[in-house]
Amino acid sequence: MEKTVREIAVIVRELILEVGDLKERLASLENRLMKEEPRSQTSCPLLLEGESYGNLGRIYNEGFHVCPDAYGQPRDGDCLFCIAFLEKE
């Protein structure tokens, strides 16, 4: 039993480190994207069908997050999570 708990603790530590690495990688990719494609928030409005997607697209184009983690918070540029969320069918 004690061996199993230790093994689980090791796995959890490894997962925490991997999540940290993934967060750093995502931040790096977002920064690189912002440097490569500087776009104004209204220059490329997203075209969405349906009333609810239209509202989400409008909110996003007005400069706010529409992704579940940061919904309604002002954004400083494009958000990969919001874009992925809006592109879901």
Distance (Å, whole) CA 52 – CA 41:
20
Summarize the confidence of residues 6-24 as an average pLDDT.
90
Question: Which backbone phi and psi does 46 adopt, to 5 degrees?
Answer: -80, 135
Judge if 52 and 34 occupy the same domain. Answer: no
Judge if 55 and 83 occupy the same domain. Answer: yes
Structural domain range at position 11: 1-38
For 19-30, what is each residue's pLDDT tens digit?
888 888 888 888
Judge if 84 and 57 occupy the same domain. Answer: yes
Judge if 63 and 32 occupy the same domain. Answer: no
Judge if 46 and 89 occupy the same domain. Answer: yes
Q: What is the pTM of this model?
A: 0.42
Judge if 33 and 47 occupy the same domain. Answer: no
Judge if 47 and 80 occupy the same domain. Answer: yes
* Domain count along the chain: 2
Instruction: Flag whether pLDDT at 45 surpasses 50.
Output: yes
Judge if 28 and 54 occupy the same domain. Answer: no
Cα distances (angstroms) measured from residue 37 to each of 32, 51, 77: 9, 29, 10
Judge if 89 and 67 occupy the same domain. Answer: yes
